[in-house]
Structure 1
Amino acid sequence: MTDCGCDKAKAELEEYLHDELAKADAADIAEHMANCDDCTGEARIGIVLTQAVQRACRETAPADLRDQVLLKLRTLQSH
């Protein structure tokens, strides 16, 4: 493995965090982050953002709000 550098680590960070990289590329990025505080900080931010989005996607609107929105959409579509 060779140190991939900050540019590659930051460019592929999202794929790395979602475990979407080939094993060799993921290992290169992990090795780089083990020695780079800046990229490790970027990864931590990415993790927090990913977790926040995942939590938000699990939330549902209250039934009355859904009904109001659907009624408004139907009204707009009928005009």
Structure 2
Amino acid sequence: MSDCGCEKAKAELEEYLHNELCSTDAADIREHLENCAECTTEHLVGVMLTETVQRACKETAPEDLRDLVLSRLRLSQQHA
């Protein structure tokens, strides 16, 4: 393993966050993150953003809002 540097770490951070890198590349980025505060901060922001989006995708809209949106879509399709 070797420290891959900031440029590579930042370029592959998204893939790293989603476990889409081969084990060697992931290990290189993990080692870099252990020694670089700037990239670690960027990684933590990515983790928080990913977790927030995942939680939001599990939420459902209130039934009355869903009905309102659907009725307006139908109405707009009738007038198109």
Bin of the TM-score, shorter chain as denominator length: over 0.9
Determine what percentage of the aligned residue pairs are the same residue. Answer: 66
Partner of residue 60, structure 1: 60
Q: Distance in 1 between matches of 2:26 and 2:43?
A: 13
Deviation at 1:66, TM superposition (A): 0.2
Partner of residue 18, structure 1: 18
Within a 5 Å distance, the mapping from 1:19-38 to structure 2 comes to 19-38=19-38
- Return 5+ residue gaps in structure 1 as ranges: none
Partner amino acid, structure 2, of 1:42: E
1:2-49 CA deviation, whole Å, 9 max, x = no partner? 211101101111110110111111000001111111111111111111
Q: Distance in 2 between matches of 1:24 and 1:78?
A: 56
TM-score normalised by L of structure 2: 0.95
* Runs of 4 or more consecutive aligned structure 1 residues displaced over 3 Å after TM superposition: none
Q: Distance in 2 between matches of 1:78 and 1:49?
A: 39
Partner of residue 76, structure 2: 76
- Aligned residues: CA RMSD: 0.6
